[in-house]
């Protein structure tokens, strides 16, 4: 069974530029998450989708971050404009009905 696919793996941008990350979850998983993980910390939830609807985006900095999951399958997370503090790994995960999350390899963002 294919896992969660993410791209790009690495991205380096200047502050105030924009960036987009893509995620394709495990087939059939209705719930999709985007997490931000800063080195040495646990994952921080940015947004949770159930099919193509948003369940929780309370910690998403909506002035600069946006995410969509238009057809209830793959998803895109965008940052515009980026700040230095956005340097982190952006993890996508999909979930089994029993609660277990399966993560992609992550997209490492460096903002200079």
Query: Least distance in Å: CB of 81 to another protein?
Result: 26
Please choose, out of 11-19, 34-42, 62-70, 79-87, the segment that lies near another protein by the rule CB under 8 A: 34-42
Q: How far is CA 97 from CA 13, 20, 53, 54, 112, in A?
A: 37, 28, 17, 17, 39
Task: Report the residue from 25, 43, 109, 111 that binds another protein according to the rule CB under 8 A.
Answer: 43
Please choose, out of 24-32, 61-69, 74-82, 91-99, the segment that lies near another protein by the rule CB under 8 A: 91-99
Task: Report the residue from 1, 27, 40, 70 that binds another protein according to the rule CB under 8 A.
Answer: 40
Residues 6+ positions from 12 with CB-CB distance below 8 Å: 109, 110, 112
**For residue 72, is the peptide bond before it cis, meaning its omega torsion is within 30 degrees of 0?**
no
Query: Least distance in Å: CB of 90 to another protein?
Result: 10
Residues near another protein (CB under 8 A), total: 20
Strand 107-111 versus strand 10-13 pairing type: parallel
């Amino acid at each position: 069974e294919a896992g969660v696919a993410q791209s790009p793996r690495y991205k380096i941008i200047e502050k105030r530029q924009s960036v987009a990350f893509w995620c394709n979850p495990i087939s059939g998983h209705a719930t999709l998450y985007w997490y931000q993980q800063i080195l040495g910390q646990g994952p921080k939830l940015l947004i949770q989708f159930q099919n193509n609807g948003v369940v929780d985006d309370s910690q998403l900095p909506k002035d600069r971050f946006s995410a969509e999951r238009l057809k209830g399958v793959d998803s895109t997370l965008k940052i515009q404009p980026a700040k230095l503090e956005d340097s982190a790994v952006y993890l996508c995960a999909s979930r089994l009905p029993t609660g277990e999350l399966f993560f992609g390899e992550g997209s490492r963002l460096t903002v200079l």
